[in-house]
Structure 1
Amino acid sequence: MTTVPSASVAPDQLAIDGNRLWKFLMDLAEIGAYDDQATGLVGINRQALTDGDREGRRLIILWMEEAGLEVSIDEMGNIFGRREGLEPCLDALMAGSHIDTVATAGAFDGCLGVLGALEVVRSLNDAGIQTRRPIVIAAWTEEEGVRFSTDMLGSAVAAGRLSLDYAYDLADEGGLRFGDELERIGFKGPRPVRLDSPHAYVECHIEQGPVLAQEGYAVGVVTGVQAISWQKVTLHGRAAHAGTTPIGLRIDAGLAAAQIIVEARRMVNSGEYGQLRATVGHIRASPGLPSVVPDLAEITVDLRNPDDTLMAKAEADLEEFFAALPETQPGLRVEARRVARTRAVSFSNEIQDVIDASADTHGFDTMRLTSGAGHDAQEMAAITPTAMIFVRGQYDGISYNPREYSTPEDCAAGISVLAKTMLELSA
Structure 2
Amino acid sequence: MYVTIKYYSIRNSNKQDMSHWFHRNCLKATGPLDTKHLTPVLTSQKANQIVNELKQKRAQLVSKMGDLLSDPRSTPVIEEYLPLIRGFAQSVSGAASPLQNLLKFRWTQSLGGRNPEVQNDAVFEIANVCVNIGLWYMKRAAKIASSNNYAEAEAKEVHTCLRTAAGIFEYVLDKVSPHLDSSKLEDWFDITVPILTAYKLECTAEAQEVTVARAIELKHKPDLISALAHETSKLFSDADTALRECDVEFVTKWRRYLQVKIKFYAAYARSFQGEYLLTLDKCGDSIKTLREAQKLYKEAQGLCKQYEHAPGNSVGEVRPARHPFFQKLGPVIDLRLSKSERENGFIYYQKIPEELPELELKATFGLAAPIPFEMPEVHAIFTEEAYKDFTVQETAPPKISGSDKDDLPPAKETDIGGDTKNIDNDSGCVIQ
Give the TM-score of the pair, scaled to structure 2: 0.28
By relative contact order (CA 8 Å, sep 6+), the higher-ranking structure is: 2
Greater per-residue helix proportion: 2
> If the length of structure 1 is used for normalisation, what is the TM-score?
0.28
| Structure number with larger C-alpha Rg | 2
